[in-house]
């Protein structure tokens, strides 16, 4: 089996490039059909979604725009929990049909925050396109409109997703090997 080492952890090939590319193309085709007349604004959540967004957009052939945001974490004033806020969104989403492009939905807590924020900013409609989803880990009642590939509840890297900053450049998805 194809394996690799990133820092202190070993990873094994899990989803090969051809399967990824086919799944991404299928998501793009669905979006092209569903949003043909919607003039969507795609919002890519950096860093993890950069590769998915790049490949996805090459197959998008409808009138559309794309922009890029980051999530900033800070400690809430009233709670001890981590709160994430969207930063870098310079475009108005008022009355826009928005498609959030994410790398992975795990518990769904991050996506719930993003959706609440975009709704608050006045988006007309909000859809989610996530490259990966871990259905077993989902803890929030959120609608994921487009999911390229569903995976088990294991830590993965590659295709934009990192382990401590490493592995984002990999064309395939690798799963951590417990030793």
Taking phi first (over 0 means left), then psi (-120 to 50 degrees means alpha), and beta for anything else, what does residue 111 get? Answer: alpha
Residue nearest to Mg ion (CB): 48
106 is catalytic: yes
Q: Which of 52, 110, 126, 173 binds ligand 5GP (CB under 6 A)?
A: 110
Q: Which is nearer to ligand 5GP, 51 or 161 (CB)?
A: 161
DSSP string, 109-140: HHHHHHHHHHHHTTBSEEEEEEEEE-GGG--S
18 three-class SS: helix
Selecting among 55, 103, 106, 172, the annotated active-site residue is 106
The answer to whether the CB of 22 falls within 8 A of the CB of 56 is no
CB of 102 to Mg ion, least distance (A): 5
- Residue 144 interacts with ligand 5GP (CB under 6 A)? no
DSSP string, 47-61: TTTHHHHHHHHHH--
- Residue 15 interacts with ligand 5GP (CB under 6 A)? no
At 167, phi and psi to the nearest 5? 95, -5
- Residue 103 interacts with Mg ion (CB under 5 A)? yes
Neighbours of 123 (CB within 10 A): 21
- Residue 156 interacts with ligand 5GP (CB under 6 A)? yes
Q: Which of 51, 157, 170, 173 binds ligand 5GP (CB under 6 A)?
A: 157
Residue span 34-63 as binding mask against ligand 5GP, x where in contact by CB under 6 A, dash where not: --------------x---------------
Element of type H or E holding 83 = strand 82-87
Dihedral of CA atoms 144, 162, 177, 1 in degrees, nearest 10, equals 90
- Residue 147 interacts with ligand 5GP (CB under 6 A)? no
Residues that bind Mg ion (CB under 5 A): 48, 103
Catalytic residues: 106
Residues that bind ligand 5GP (CB under 6 A): 48, 103-111, 155-157, 161-162
């Amino acid at each position: 089996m194809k394996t690799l080492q990133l820092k202190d952890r070993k990873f094994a090939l899990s989803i090969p490039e051809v399967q990824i590319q086919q799944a991404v193309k299928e998501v793009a085709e669905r979006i092209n059909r569903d949003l043909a007349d919607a003039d969507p604004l795609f919002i890519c959540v950096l860093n993890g979604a950069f590769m998915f967004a790049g490949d996805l957009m090459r197959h998008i052939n409808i009138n559309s725009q794309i922009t890029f945001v980051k999530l900033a974490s800070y400690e809430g004033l009233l709670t001890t929990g981590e709160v994430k806020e969207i930063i870098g969104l310079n475009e108005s989403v008022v009355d826009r049909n928005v498609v959030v492009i994410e790398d992975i939905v795990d518990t769904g807590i991050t996506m719930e925050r993003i959706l609440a924020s975009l709704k608050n900013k006045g988006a007309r409609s909000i859809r989610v396109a996530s490259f990966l989803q871990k259905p077993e880990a989902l803890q929030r009642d959120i609608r994921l409109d487009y999911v390229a590939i569903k995976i088990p509840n294991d830590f993965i890297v590659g295709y934009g997703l990192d382990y401590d900053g490493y592995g984002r450049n990999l064309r395939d998805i690798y799963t951590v090997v417990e030793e």
